[in-house]
Structure 1
Amino acid sequence: MTFKPLILVPFLATPAFAGSLDQAAPEPAPAAPVVPVTTPATGDWTGPSVGVQLGYGSADADGPADDSEEGALYGVRAFYDHDFGNWVAGGGLQYDGADIDLGDAGNVDGIAKLGGRVGYDMGRTMIYGSGGYAHASTDGGALDAGSSDGYYVGIGAETYVTDNVTVSGELNYNEFEDFDANDLKVGATTATVGLNYRF
């Protein structure tokens, strides 16, 4: 009986190791960089606002005074709007001082407006249509035209430049035919840009 096979048993039972016992663990794969998700900035149009505006107007008188002239405008405005999501509705007051000479009809020295607007909310920009009551006053002139009630219709846009400040632009058509001078009718087209503070 031989004992040689028994001598090999401890070596056969020992697991074989390939390489060094101190082999380093593999390094983990680098994590993908986290990219922040940006959401488009939006504006909330609900609330009051006040502003100033500058612009240009062209007035055309028909009837006893047949004249057409142009001149600068400067004014103030105050609005209140409510944001319904995609749509914005509001109303407000505007007053533009002017000095547009209409010959015998005198000078158009001011246009006041009270009306509403309905706009589409594009986030930080709103485009809108507006309309309402308007009142024009004149000064001087052989006709002593006085003042007249009327109406206005227009389009405009307003956009945020900071969290509380917006810039705006409007194009309006105004019509007046109730002056003290009979048959005098004045149509005025005005274009203005404004700077507004929203509360």
Structure 2
Amino acid sequence: MKRFAIPAAAVAALAVTAPAFAGGYSEPTPEPVITPAPVAPVVAGTDWTGGYAGLSAGYGWGDDVADDADDMVYGLFGGYDYDFGNFVLGGELEYSASEIENDVASIDDFTRLKLRAGYDLGSALVYGVVGATYVNADIAGEDYSDTGYAYGIGVDYALTDQINLGAELLQNEFDEFDDSGEDLSATTLGARVSFRF
């Protein structure tokens, strides 16, 4: 009886485990690869808030008593801007020496107090200007000085967080210039470089 007991136990064990081998060998199914969605790079905008100072150089031409007068203008400026997001508001004080002259009149210098308001385009700031301008001039050998108004447009471009390049076109108007009996006007176009701090 013992002779049949061991083979019977082996057959029973084989019968229990046989279904595990019924399918044969199969390759394991690879796990699906999940690739994350691409993330758009974050582009940091320029914050125009803060003070700045710089130098300008350009060209100017006159009208009225300074008709046909033209020559170089150059100077320095400083101001402060506040960035509200898309809108930037600021003030600036500028001094420009001038070589604008004709046979009758010469414009010696401009001192301007300007309000700047513009649109933040990221690395560029496009703005408009209004303000008061004080000028010293010579008309027919007499020295005159008076306060008028200025308006114009400009653009600044941020090369780095501190260094800006720009350009500004301004119209300067003086009605009845210093009781001389003459009107005086001048247009200036200047290139600007400034340091922000």
TM-score by length of 1: 0.82
- Contact kept, 8 Å, 1:148 with 1:177, in 2: the verdict is no
TM-score by length of 2: 0.83
Residue number in structure 2 paired with 1:44: 47
Q: How does 1:21-100 map to 2 (within 5 A)?
A: 32=35, 37-62=40-65, 67-100=67-100
SS in 2 for 1:12: helix
1:184 to 174, 178, 182: 182
CA distance in 2, matches of 1:144, 1:180: 11
CA distance in 1, matches of 2:83, 2:35: 40
Residue number in structure 2 paired with 1:157: 155
Residue number in structure 2 paired with 1:13: 16
145 and 179 in structure 1: CA distance in 2 versus 1, 3 angstrom threshold: farther
Shift of residue 54, structure 1, vs aligned partner:
0.9
Residue number in structure 2 paired with 1:122: 121
- Contact kept, 8 Å, 2:174 with 2:184, in 1: the verdict is yes
- Contact kept, 8 Å, 1:149 with 1:177, in 2: the verdict is no
Shift of residue 178, structure 1, vs aligned partner:
4.3
CA distance in 2, matches of 1:10, 1:180: 121
CA distance in 1, matches of 2:16, 2:67: 117
Does structure 1 residue 103 correspond to structure 2 residue 100?
no
Q: Which amino acid aligns with 2:151?
A: V
159 and 183 in structure 1: CA distance in 2 versus 1, 3 angstrom threshold: same
Using the aligned pairs only, state the percent identity. 34
Q: What is the number of equivalent residue pairs in this alignment?
A: 189
User: After the TM superposition, which parts of structure 1 deviate over 4 Å for at least 4 consecutive aligned residues?
Assistant: 23-31, 33-36
Extract unaligned runs of 5+ from structure 1. none
Shift of residue 72, structure 1, vs aligned partner:
1.1
- Contact kept, 8 Å, 2:70 with 2:102, in 1: the verdict is no
CA distance in 2, matches of 1:130, 1:142: 31
SS in 2 for 1:11: helix
Q: Deviations over 1:30-88 (max 9, x none)?
A: 664785541222111111100101111111133xxx63221111110101111112211
Q: CA RMSD in A?
A: 2.7
Q: Which amino acid aligns with 1:13?
A: V
Shift of residue 173, structure 1, vs aligned partner:
0.6
Shift of residue 191, structure 1, vs aligned partner:
0.8
Shift of residue 9, structure 1, vs aligned partner:
2.6
CA distance in 1, matches of 2:178, 2:118: 36
SS in 2 for 1:100: coil
